[in-house]
Structure 1
Amino acid sequence: MLNNYLIIAYRNLLKQKLYSGINILGLAIGLAICISMAIFVESELGYDKHIKGHENIYRTSLKMTVPGSPAQSFAQGSVYNAERFTNYFDEITEATRLRSMGATLGFGDTHFSDEGLTLADANVFNFMSLEMIKGDKQSALVQPNTVVLTESAARRYFSSIEVLDKTLILANRIPLKVTGIIKDLPKRTHLEFSAIVSMGTAAEFLQNPNWDTDQSFNYSTYFKLKPNTDIKALEARFPEFLENHIGEGLGDIFHYTLINITDIYLNSDLYGEMKKNGDINIVFSFSIIAALILLIACVNFMNLSTATATKRAKEVGVRKTLGAKKYSLVTQFMIEAIMLCYIGLFIAVALVEATLPIFADFIGKTLSFSYLDLNTLSILLSLGLVVGLISGIYPAFYLSAFKPARVLKGEVTQGKTGALLRKGLVVFQFSVAIILIVATVIASMQLNYARNIELGYDKSNTFVLRGLWTTEASPQRDVIKTQLLANPDITSVTMTSRFPTGSLTDSMGLLHPATKEMQLMPVLAVDEDYFSSYNIKLLSGRGFSRDFTADAISRPSKENPNPEFSVVVNSVAAKTLGYSPEEAVGKQFKVLFTRTSEGTATIVGVTEDYYFSSLKTEVAPTYHLLNHNNGYNMSIKYTGDTAQVRDYIEQTWSKFVPDQPIALDYLDDRFNQMYQQEDREFIVFNLFSLLAIFIACLGLFGLASFTTQRRTKEIGIRKVLGASVLDIVILINKEFSKQVLIANIIAWPAAYFIMQEWLNSFVYRIDLSILPFAVATALAFVIAWVTVGSLSAIAAKERPITALRYE
């Protein structure tokens, strides 16, 4: 019986080549997208699940809120959190800490500026399931001045992994003994390090014997909890603990939460993350879109199967007359649908195999697809079966329900219900396509807005030289600046603690001049050339000047317990302090260095607000301090040839800091990187939109082809009666235009809601206008008219006598 069903299915496939081809192509594209997205989603959801006991491992996250100040969120906390939390909370059984170092490491004349250099506790290997190749994981980091390398780092430094007991020099001053080699970290982890230095080295590296009482947020702290711990209940006890055991008033300011280690990659995007994390919203949105595209392909199948039902009507009538039961007819039609689906699945697998490397390279992921794997094969076969059942179930029951007596008499079998369903399915297809078109247009407008907005500073022709805080580079900062300015192509050089496109995470406490309440405000350390170099406009007052020696910050001392210095604030900071830009100049407020020491700041200037970070970040109230000691970065403005200036900067660096590799960036590149993720999303959105439209057009083409065939005699009669080709094209187009119009009515509100939510992720964004919706509507109608009109025009151009003889 099954063999008979397959033979009939094969014959019908050949008999209706056009409609079968449309169905197979649509299903193949839909399945290929669905499989690709499944591979992507599985990859994204699998981060850090290789760590043993990951269900009970959590990292702390910190949100710091001070009244009147912008909230700041960190992936890191204080160095002492691990010990104090573990001792106080019985639910915590173990803790470990990591701190990125950002220093040089090497030996002899070979030094690397290794961004994967990390301080860690001795238990990190068991805690994070790191596989030790050489050495003893229990003792490798117990002693100070020890280091464990990853396999690739060992080969980079020594060209071998046989390196135990060899010595590396940290920051050109601290000898480290290599005590172990671990396997390279897996790709799917939020961790990123290549050399792990014992935590006992911290005092010497930081040149601070009291490093373990430092309150700054530099340490990623991980806790291992008892099974079945109530996370919310544990978090609820943190404020009281902070208040009673860390510092009075901190319970209302520091808000620590716990995030499972497997959730960090997709659900945490805070300052201090080890590397750029993913986004769960991208996973959700791409998955939904892929599912919708596959559903559109299934809709095509149902539409064409029910539309072409009259061609199978006599077959059904004869089979029923000869005694065929309804269930056997349903089985036959379902097998046909599943067979077509499996043909589409075979093509889809080939498409995925061919395009996955391109897709993986584009999104910067390592994606793999082994369709011969038993689990993968069973999933693919199940997917083909499910899609075949979804696509074929309604057509099977629809076709098997024909009445033999009516069919054999040649009565019309289409019915109003089938026609309404087909129209509804066309409306659904175009609704999805219109939503995607609207989303694409709005995303394009927002990204264009972000790139062309008036930033408030000049980012053109600017290099950023990083890493000036190290012991090698710090003493050479002034001489490097002087040497750079000797080049006539370099117009200005300024040193700052941070630079535009970065994050303003440094802050200092101050007392509000009116309320006398303490608040935190982001602070930026600059030199006298900062405002002129970046062409930042002053609304009132002046910038820092070498003519005013009192401008520079000075810290409290026995001789001067309340020093005075100048600050320049931005417009929003002046407003936060209760002043207009003009009123602010000359006003003073207290700056809190510690809980017991303070200084007096005098506002000498107010700048226009400028977008220091991404448009997803609100312009923060900021005050600028003249602080040469914190000039960790150098911004270099230039004219002339970019390559020649870069060479000159690199030569200057090599001359004065030969033992530290240069870290030089082009500011425009860093600016573009801020929106790199949105760019990729936009391109994928474009691709999805095009594919959704293409599949919808395939279905529309099939329906239009069938409609024009079914109305061939009508077209011939109308031509005999004087109708022109244009009249016939308009007549047939009118039927489909109504469905496209209804699709727009449904799609507009949905698209508006979805894109409003997306735009809300930007603090500074475009306002939604009618333009994207009008563009989507126009495109939808043009696509429908071209698809349907071309077929109806071909039919209308046939000689009337040919149409009247059509069977």
Structure 2
Amino acid sequence: MLHNYLTIALRNLRKHKTFSFINIMGLAIGIAVCLLILLWVVDELSYDRWNDKFDRTYRVAGEVKFGGLHSSFAVAPAPMAAALVADFPEIETAVRFRQQGSFLIKSKVQNFKEDRVIFADSTLFKVFSLKMLQGNPEHALNAPQTIIISKSMAEKYFPSENPLGKFLTLDNKTRYNVTGVFADMPTNSHFRMDFFCSMSTLEESRDQVWLSFNFHTYYILRKDANPAAFEAKLFPHLLKKYIDPQLTQMMGKTYAELEKGGTLVKFHLQPLGDIHLKSDMDVELAANGNIQYVWIFGMAALFVLLIAVVNFMNLSTARSTLRAREVGVRKVVGSQRSALVGQFLSESMVLTFFALFLALLLSWVALPFFAQIAGKKFLFPWTSPLFWLSVMGGGILVGLLSGSYPALFLSGFQPIRVLKGRFFDSGKGRNLRSGLIIFQFLIAIFLISASIVIRGQLSFIQNKQLGFSRDQVLVVNDAYALDKNLDAFKKNLKNLPFVQNATLSGFLPIESSRSNGSVCSTPSLQEETCQIMQQWEVDEDYVPTLGMEIVKGRNFSAEMPGDSSNVILNEKAAKGFFGQEDPLGKTLYFHGDVDAEGKLLNKMYTVIGVVKDFHYESLRQNIETLCLKLERSAGNISIKLSNTDLPAALSRIEGEWKKMAGGAPFSWQFMDERFDEMYRAELRVGRIFNIFTILSLLVACLGLLGLAAFTAERRTKEIGIRKVLGATTQSIIALLSKEIVRLILIAAAIAIPMAWWGAAQWLHNFAYRIPVPWWGFFLAGALAVAVALVTVTLQSMRSARMEPVKSLRSE
């Protein structure tokens, strides 16, 4: 019986080649898209699961509300880890990380810039399941100035050598003894490091200050512990034993008194599995993903697949009249309905598995392109039994889903009516096909609308006036490598004819280093008179080089040594401290370190200027308070270039660097490129949505093409008669097209409100955003109508141009 089913199925597929091609190609595209997106989704959901104690690993995160700033931090105080282990029996072990940016590293002569460097406690291997290839994981990070390196770095710095016992020099200053080599960290980790330096090297790791947040702190909860119960008692205990005494000593008030004024200091726990997709705090170890985009991509892929499935159902039910007599004859000679259902489902399964084979081929070919867009490395799990079980199971499910309604519909024909020629396409069947067309184009219009909104917001971001100039600004990294030649290098740069200006700082209005601190208008640390704000050390050329505007007062001057005790505020900070009063000449107190007795130290600064507010974070966030201080900070050199031959300018600057940097690598990037990196996720979403939109329209139009061909075939006699009576080609095309246009307009009427709501929700993620573009939704509907109309018209023209004699003879 099965053999007979398959034989007939293959025969029907060969007989109706156009029908078969449209269904196979539509399903193949839908399945290929799902496969690619599922690879991405599975990768996103797999982050950090390689750790043996994944389900018991947590990170301590801090939350602070003080002085007008409410922020969440992925870091905790230095003594947190020791207190967790000592005071809570629920804790098995803990580890801290301290990130200090990139380093110049060399083993012999040549320096290499390395970004994946971090300081870690010796308990690293007790928390994270890193595989040690050489060395003892128990003791590798015990001693100061020891370091363990990844396998890749061992091959880079010590080719054909045993790295154990060798030395690496960091920033041309400190030598670290290599005590271990570990396997490269998996790519699906929320942080990836190649160098772990011993935490005991850092003096600050022994600080006992509970109001400074600098250390990423992870711990393992014992198997029998209750996470919720532990979190409930964590902060009250820490507050009573550690935090309150320091607050009272520093500020003269208890936490309870400060809380009444709106101050908040709190710690909460993050499961390791939530960090990559659900955490977007300050001082993350790396850029995280977003669970919202996982849902968006997953739903978009499902929509494309559904459009393809709908195509199959639509075309199969539309062609029902061509197989009506076959069903009637089969029933007369004794065929049961179950056998007919089996026959039609067999045809559906054969078609689906042809599509599945093509989908695997398409997805394999498209994988490198998709990986480039997604910013990931993917490999097809060809050898995984689970993968093949999922693919085969998914194929069977799609085959059953797409073939179930046509099978039940076709097998339900009444044989007597069919054989007497009284069968006609029922209103129920036409309504179903109309509903399916509406569903297809509803999804297509929604995706087109989403693409327009995303593109509009990205264009807004890239063209918005940010309060500084990022064009033609070259950022040279690792200025500290110049050491004593730093000032001479900057002076030489400013003398170059194509350099308008140059500035030295560790802080840029793009993703770079950040430094928060307490600033008060009174000597004492009080919540009513203080603000937590960004404090950037810059030089006198910072403001003019980056094209910022001083709206009150003046800029720093190299000719005025007293400017080292002066500050420039942004408008937000000036208004926060002084309201409508003139801030110039006012005194501010910067609180920082504590003395030996635990008392807070402060330093006085005078306000000499106010800079116009500029965006120094992503446009997802509001502009917050900020001040500029005239201090030396050897982080980056930003060079404003004139419109010139950029390759020649870069070559000349690199030549100057090599003369003075002592073999340090020349690392650079244009500021506008680094600015765009802040929106990598949105750029990827935009590209992927564009692809989904094109594919959804392509699959939907394939279905329309098949339906148009079928409709024209069924109405061949009617078209011939109309042409004999004088109908023009244009009127015939309009006759065949108007029903499709009506259905797509209905789809647009449903899709536009849905798209409007979705756009508003997505744009809400940005503090600075475009208004919801109402015109974009109508443009999406018009585009869908135009594409569908072109598709139907191309098919209708063939029928409309057919000679009436041939049309009538065919009937």
TM-score grouping bracket, smaller chain normalisation = over 0.9
Conserved? CA contact 1:99–1:118, under 8 Å: yes
Partner of 1:236: 232
CA distance in 2, matches of 1:179, 1:444: 50
Partner of 1:785: 789
Q: How does 1:261-276 map to 2 (within 5 A)?
A: 261-276=272-287
Conserved? CA contact 2:511–2:678, under 8 Å: no
Conserved? CA contact 2:79–2:206, under 8 Å: no
Look up the equivalent residue of 1:256 and give its one-letter code: F
Post-superposition Cα deviations, 1:183-220, rounded to whole Å, max 9, x if no partner, equal 111222123221222222223xxxx6955658643322
Name the CA shift for 1:511/1:99 in 2 (closer, same or farther; >3 Å). closer
Look up the equivalent residue of 1:619 and give its one-letter code: I
Out of 605, 614, 621, the position equivalent to 1:610 is 614
Deviation at 1:691, TM superposition (A): 0.4
Partner of 1:560: none
CA distance in 2, matches of 1:567, 1:597: 18
Partner of 2:89: 90
Name the CA shift for 1:627/1:697 in 2 (closer, same or farther; >3 Å). same
Deviation at 1:384, TM superposition (A): 0.8
Post-superposition Cα deviations, 1:527-571, rounded to whole Å, max 9, x if no partner, equal 222212212112222222235433223xxxxxxxxxxxx322222
Q: Does 1:638 align with 2:641?
A: yes
CA distance in 2, matches of 1:298, 1:34: 13
Partner of 2:219: 223
Look up the equivalent residue of 1:182 and give its one-letter code: F
Conserved? CA contact 1:151–1:161, under 8 Å: no
Q: Does 1:498 align with 2:507?
A: yes
Deviation at 1:372, TM superposition (A): 5.0
Name the CA shift for 1:423/1:447 in 2 (closer, same or farther; >3 Å). same
Farther-moved stretch of structure 1 (225-234 vs 192-201)? 225-234
Out of 318, 322, 325, the position equivalent to 1:314 is 325
Post-superposition Cα deviations, 1:699-747, rounded to whole Å, max 9, x if no partner, equal 1111111111111111112122222111111122111111011000110
Name the CA shift for 1:478/1:217 in 2 (closer, same or farther; >3 Å). farther
Q: SS state of the match for residue 607, structure 2? A: strand
Partner of 2:743: 739
Look up the equivalent residue of 1:218 and give its one-letter code: N
Farther-moved stretch of structure 1 (22-31 vs 261-270)? 261-270
CA distance in 2, matches of 1:668, 1:496: 17
Name the CA shift for 1:712/1:5 in 2 (closer, same or farther; >3 Å). same
Conserved? CA contact 1:503–1:612, under 8 Å: no
Q: SS state of the match for residue 119, structure 1? A: strand
Gaps of 5+ in 1: 554-565
Q: Does 1:525 align with 2:521?
A: no
Look up the equivalent residue of 1:397 and give its one-letter code: L
Out of 747, 762, 782, the position equivalent to 2:766 is 762
Look up the equivalent residue of 1:95 and give its one-letter code: A
CA RMSD between the two structures = 2.3
CA distance in 1, matches of 2:715, 2:809: 12
Q: SS state of the match for residue 202, structure 2? A: helix
Name the CA shift for 1:626/1:90 in 2 (closer, same or farther; >3 Å). same
Partner of 2:583: 584
Q: SS state of the match for residue 301, structure 1? A: helix
Partner of 2:130: 130
CA distance in 2, matches of 1:738, 1:486: 69
Aligned residues: 786
Q: How does 1:389-788 map to 2 (within 5 A)?
A: 389-468=400-479, 470=480, 473-502=482-511, 505-511=514-520, 516-553=528-565, 566-580=566-580, 583-594=582-593, 596-628=600-632, 630-639=633-642, 640-658=644-662, 660-788=664-792
Farther-moved stretch of structure 1 (16-25 vs 741-750)? 16-25
CA distance in 2, matches of 1:178, 1:621: 43
Conserved? CA contact 1:497–1:525, under 8 Å: yes
Look up the equivalent residue of 2:652 and give its one-letter code: Y
Deviation at 1:100, TM superposition (A): 2.7
CA distance in 2, matches of 1:127, 1:270: 22
Residue identity (%): 36
Out of 366, 384, 407, the position equivalent to 2:395 is 384
Conserved? CA contact 1:464–1:666, under 8 Å: yes
Q: SS state of the match for residue 77, structure 2? A: coil
Conserved? CA contact 2:57–2:272, under 8 Å: yes
Name the CA shift for 1:475/1:242 in 2 (closer, same or farther; >3 Å). farther
Deviation at 1:802, TM superposition (A): 1.7
CA distance in 1, matches of 2:578, 2:793: 66
Post-superposition Cα deviations, 1:54-74, rounded to whole Å, max 9, x if no partner, equal 1101122223222422x3333
Gaps of 5+ in 2: 248-254, 594-598
Look up the equivalent residue of 2:93 and give its one-letter code: E
Conserved? CA contact 1:402–1:413, under 8 Å: no
Runs of 4+ aligned structure 1 residues displaced above 6 Å come to none
Farther-moved stretch of structure 1 (60-69 vs 307-316)? 60-69
Conserved? CA contact 2:140–2:148, under 8 Å: yes
Conserved? CA contact 2:25–2:355, under 8 Å: yes
Deviation at 1:455, TM superposition (A): 1.6
Name the CA shift for 1:740/1:178 in 2 (closer, same or farther; >3 Å). same
Partner of 2:378: 367
CA distance in 2, matches of 1:61, 1:515: 22
Look up the equivalent residue of 1:171 and give its one-letter code: D
Q: Does 1:62 align with 2:62?
A: yes
Name the CA shift for 1:769/1:193 in 2 (closer, same or farther; >3 Å). closer
CA distance in 1, matches of 2:233, 2:502: 50
Deviation at 1:385, TM superposition (A): 0.4
Look up the equivalent residue of 2:181 and give its one-letter code: I
Name the CA shift for 1:282/1:779 in 2 (closer, same or farther; >3 Å). same
Conserved? CA contact 1:149–1:181, under 8 Å: yes
Conserved? CA contact 2:67–2:528, under 8 Å: no
Q: SS state of the match for residue 308, structure 2? A: helix
Conserved? CA contact 2:105–2:171, under 8 Å: yes
| TM-score w.r.t. length of structure 1 | 0.93
Post-superposition Cα deviations, 1:29-75, rounded to whole Å, max 9, x if no partner, equal 11111111111211221122111111101122223222422x33332
CA distance in 2, matches of 1:166, 1:578: 57
Partner of 2:252: none
Conserved? CA contact 1:503–1:613, under 8 Å: no
Q: SS state of the match for residue 193, structure 2? A: coil
Name the CA shift for 1:130/1:373 in 2 (closer, same or farther; >3 Å). closer
Conserved? CA contact 1:609–1:619, under 8 Å: yes
Name the CA shift for 1:600/1:138 in 2 (closer, same or farther; >3 Å). closer
Conserved? CA contact 2:476–2:667, under 8 Å: yes
Name the CA shift for 1:372/1:80 in 2 (closer, same or farther; >3 Å). closer
Q: How does 1:162-181 map to 2 (within 5 A)?
A: 162-181=162-181
Q: SS state of the match for residue 156, structure 2? A: helix
Conserved? CA contact 1:525–1:631, under 8 Å: no
